[in-house]
Amino acid sequence: MTAPRTPKIPYGGDYNPEQWPETVWDEDHRLFDRAGIDTLTVGVFSWSLTQPAEDTYDLTVLDRILDRAAAEGRRVCLATGTAALPPWLAKRHPEVNRTDFEGRRHRYGQRHNFCPSSPAYQKAATALASRLAERYAEHPALLGWHINNEYGGACYCDLCAAAFRTWLRARHGTLDALNDAWCTTFWSHRYTAFDEIEPPNALTEHWRGPDHTAFQGITLDYHRFTTDALLGCFLAEKDAIRAHDPDTPVTTNFMGMFRPLDYHRWAPHLDFASWDSYPPLDAPPTWPALAHDLMRGLKDGAPFWLMEQTPSTTACRDVNPLRRPGELRLATFQAIAHGADAALYFQMRASRGACEKYHGAVIGHAGRDDTRVFREVAGLGRELQLLGAATLGARTPARTALLFDWDSWWALEISDGPSRLVRYQEVVHAYYRAAREAGADVDVVPVTADLTPYAVVLAPVLHMVKGDLATRLEAVTERGGTVLTTFLSGRADEHDRAFLTDVPGPLAPLMGVRVDEWDARPQDVVQPIAMGGLRTEARLVFELVRSRGAEPVATYGADFYAGTPAVTRHPYGAGEAWYVATALDQPGVDWVVRRILTRHALLGPYAGHAGLETATRTAPDGKRLLFLLNHTPDPAHLTAHTSATDLLTGKRFEKGEPLTLDPLGTAVLHVQ
């Protein structure tokens, strides 16, 4: 199953009319018409209204919301609403509240904090999902199902401990296998019964917080268990929906690069992926782009929904800056350029009270349609109407893959040694950024993905190498492709046990190097690196590389290993394998990645224009779309590299003609 079929990009977002008297709803719908809003996500936080007591359901408000939407010609993404508990449930069944990392059983409050192993929660949530599906499966407004909201976090209660032990039996089979996987002979941990096993938290294996564990294997398995436990909640609701509604696509809103949950384990169970984009302050444009591509990679490149973004400002940060004029439009087209087939906001109307009253909304407290934000939202609504179905279902014809692996992320960041300063996302982003800024389309894929479509495979900080991955990477180079990996790759198996071979383990033959030692240094220790004509720097970790067939491309400039390789290239089969033994600064990463892309003629047509992003999508009818996104505050003066028509303006360009993009401007070129 794929995303819901629509005649154009669904446009709208989270809408909570139950917080308002119905007279306000009239005004909402009038304003929605003005802004081209056709899709509303409803019911995300209405459990205490729809089920005011254990044996009482009351769907009258939801009925009115959906009926009104249908009468107005709008579609609804209907949430099951199981992410925020009603007070009666927590009072009656205190075990639905989570026990935190410190071992404290929480009491009623907040949201997104139910215990995934609690039968009382599971029963109530699936019963509610079932009620809603029964009632609305045939409703004319229903477009898609939105289960729960932003699943995340972990629970350490006794119910979860018991569920963890059951999960461990299924995963490891026997205690011998488990003891072996976790290396329990270290520090006298050999388990003789499953019920001796405790969830890893501040009371057991951890000190100084969730990333400091005595046993990486145990903590990794708890991350996997938590992923699966929450997935179990999702699946139980999905099954309840499916019993009444076999057809309507089901999703849940993810959070992009969200460390706690391995979304690749969830991906097969979603009908379509969706996510909420709130980029960190001051993130470069490649940061949300990486998350978009990761989300697109969940379903083999199928389009996803942008389920939430703020039209103007967030509220949860210490300081919440505005999106500047034009930034919302640019971010929205960037999402579409990377595969979004819906553009939705949090939120349609600002809530009057509580912690999100300052959160940006399409309609503010004063209900005006002449604010800057409303005008920008409405302007975008008109453009999306104009775009119609042109981008729907379009795929990204990427020839570069970037491997993204939650296991490696977790293992790297819960490791004691070599350095706590190495952050998985930062290293992965540096390589992604280099490829994207060079104009290459990039698929961000799991390590299990089919690698045959790719000429280039980037596998930075691939701490764990699992299954037959090394062989599949070798196959990429054998047929002429290029594989890159970096420091702290090929270190451990799926249980985080070191390989009993030279580093980088199963990747060593492909890389043609051997690493015996590594030097981790504080942030301010810099290694000068000379690479071609480029003088750049490296930091954090310096692996000492001995060639076993690879040729040095760059060498360290200081310390006792001055003159030894920092970057190597190894001809392998008809292709090449690159090993980057240190955390190069961005210019160094750019240099390496551009060398690789050049070999495969994958540099984009505007790779020389800093701040200009390009992204390709191929529509189901074969139309090639090239998105141009100017991330700078200045106009971008380009020369059209091909003849094309801008779908947003209808303007045609012949090859060689000047093509100017406004500051923060966008063009969606239909390339002919």
Q: Please report, as ranges, the residues that interact with ligand GLA according to CB under 6 A.
A: 149-150, 276, 278, 308, 314, 346, 356, 359
Binding Zn ion by CB under 5 A: which of 155, 411, 492, 647?
A: 155
Instruction: Kindly name the residue from 95, 150, 205, 576 that is annotated as catalytic.
Output: 150
- Name the minimum Å distance from CB 396 to ligand GLA: 25
Give the 3-state secondary structure of residue 37. Answer: coil
- Distance separating alpha carbons of residues 207 and 219, to the nearest angstrom: 12
CA angle 166, 161, 223 (to 5 degrees): 85
Taking the least distance from each CB to ligand GLA, the nearer of 81 and 418 is 81
Q: In this structure, what token pair is assigned to residue 248?
A: 């309507």
Q: Is 318 exposed, middle or buried (0-12, 13-18, 19+ CB in 10 A)?
A: exposed
Identify which range of 143-151, 154-162, 593-601, 627-635 contacts Zn ion by CB under 5 A: 154-162
Binding Zn ion by CB under 5 A: which of 46, 50, 117, 184?
A: 117
Taking the least distance from each CB to Zn ion, the nearer of 160 and 362 is 160
- Name the minimum Å distance from CB 15 to ligand GLA: 12
3-state SS string for 543-584: EEEEECCCEEEEEECCCCCCCCEEEEEEEECCEEEEEECEEE
Contact of residue 537 among Zn ion, ligand GLA, none (CB under 5-8 Å per partner type): none
8 Å CB contact between 511 and 497: no
Identify which range of 114-122, 131-139, 213-221, 357-365 contacts Zn ion by CB under 5 A: 114-122
| Partners of 209 in beta bridges | none
- Name the minimum Å distance from CB 311 to ligand GLA: 11
Q: Is 32 exposed, middle or buried (0-12, 13-18, 19+ CB in 10 A)?
A: buried
- Distance separating alpha carbons of residues 228 and 160, to the nearest angstrom: 12
- Name the minimum Å distance from CB 250 to ligand GLA: 17
- Name the minimum Å distance from CB 111 to ligand GLA: 8
8 Å CB contact between 612 and 641: no
CA distances in angstroms from 43 to 12, 190, 376, 476, listed in the order given: 14, 48, 26, 47
8 Å CB contact between 277 and 335: yes
Q: In this structure, what token pair is assigned to residue 400?
A: 């570069």
- Of how many residues is the chain composed? 672
Contact of residue 346 among ligand GLA, Zn ion, none (CB under 5-8 Å per partner type): ligand GLA
Taking the least distance from each CB to ligand GLA, the nearer of 359 and 495 is 359
Contact of residue 278 among Zn ion, ligand GLA, none (CB under 5-8 Å per partner type): ligand GLA
The closest of 208, 214, 203, 210 to 157, measured between CA atoms, is: 203
Identify which range of 116-124, 165-173, 235-243, 281-289 contacts Zn ion by CB under 5 A: 116-124
The packing angle between helices 119-136 and 216-242, to 10°, is 30
- Distance separating alpha carbons of residues 88 and 104, to the nearest angstrom: 21
Taking the least distance from each CB to ligand GLA, the nearer of 14 and 383 is 14
Q: Is the peptide bond before 280 cis (omega within 30 degrees of 0)?
A: no
Identify which range of 35-43, 113-121, 330-338, 607-615 contacts Zn ion by CB under 5 A: 113-121
Contacts of 636 (CB under 8 A, 6+ apart): 609, 611, 612, 628, 630, 660, 661, 665
| Partners of 425 in beta bridges | none
The answer to whether residue 157 forms part of the interface with Zn ion (CB under 5 A) is: yes
Identify which range of 115-123, 255-263, 300-308, 368-376 contacts Zn ion by CB under 5 A: 115-123
Taking the least distance from each CB to ligand GLA, the nearer of 255 and 449 is 255
- Name the minimum Å distance from CB 67 to ligand GLA: 24
Taking the least distance from each CB to ligand GLA, the nearer of 361 and 464 is 361
Taking the least distance from each CB to ligand GLA, the nearer of 184 and 314 is 314
Residue sitting closest to ligand GLA (CB): 276
Of residues 511 through 540, those in contact with Zn ion by CB under 5 A are none
- Name the minimum Å distance from CB 292 to ligand GLA: 16
Contact of residue 308 among Zn ion, ligand GLA, none (CB under 5-8 Å per partner type): ligand GLA
The closest of 340, 341, 360 to 349, measured between CA atoms, is: 360
Pairing of strands 11-14, 39-42: parallel
Identify which range of 14-22, 33-41, 157-165, 608-616 contacts Zn ion by CB under 5 A: 157-165
- Name the minimum Å distance from CB 105 to Zn ion: 9
- Distance separating alpha carbons of residues 101 and 492, to the nearest angstrom: 26
470 phi/psi in degrees, rounded to 5: -60, -40
Q: Is 532 exposed, middle or buried (0-12, 13-18, 19+ CB in 10 A)?
A: exposed
Taking the least distance from each CB to Zn ion, the nearer of 89 and 403 is 89
Contact of residue 160 among ligand GLA, Zn ion, none (CB under 5-8 Å per partner type): Zn ion
Contact of residue 157 among Zn ion, ligand GLA, none (CB under 5-8 Å per partner type): Zn ion
Taking the least distance from each CB to Zn ion, the nearer of 117 and 309 is 117
Identify which range of 156-164, 207-215, 324-332, 537-545 contacts Zn ion by CB under 5 A: 156-164
Q: Specify whether 150 is catalytic.
A: yes
The closest of 267, 257, 265, 255 to 221, measured between CA atoms, is: 265
Contact of residue 149 among Zn ion, ligand GLA, none (CB under 5-8 Å per partner type): ligand GLA
8 Å CB contact between 423 and 539: no
The answer to whether residue 233 forms part of the interface with Zn ion (CB under 5 A) is: no
CA distances in angstroms from 412 to 56, 279, 493, listed in the order given: 48, 23, 12
Of residues 386 through 415, those in contact with Zn ion by CB under 5 A are none
The answer to whether residue 120 forms part of the interface with Zn ion (CB under 5 A) is: no
User: Which residue is it, tokens 């461990």?
Assistant: 168
- Name the minimum Å distance from CB 98 to Zn ion: 6
Taking the least distance from each CB to ligand GLA, the nearer of 313 and 448 is 313
- Distance separating alpha carbons of residues 24 and 40, to the nearest angstrom: 16
Contact of residue 314 among ligand GLA, Zn ion, none (CB under 5-8 Å per partner type): ligand GLA
Instruction: Kindly name the residue from 95, 205, 308, 376 that is annotated as catalytic.
Output: 308
The set of catalytic residues is: 150, 308
Q: Which residues bind Zn ion (CB under 5 A)?
A: 115, 117, 155, 157, 159-160
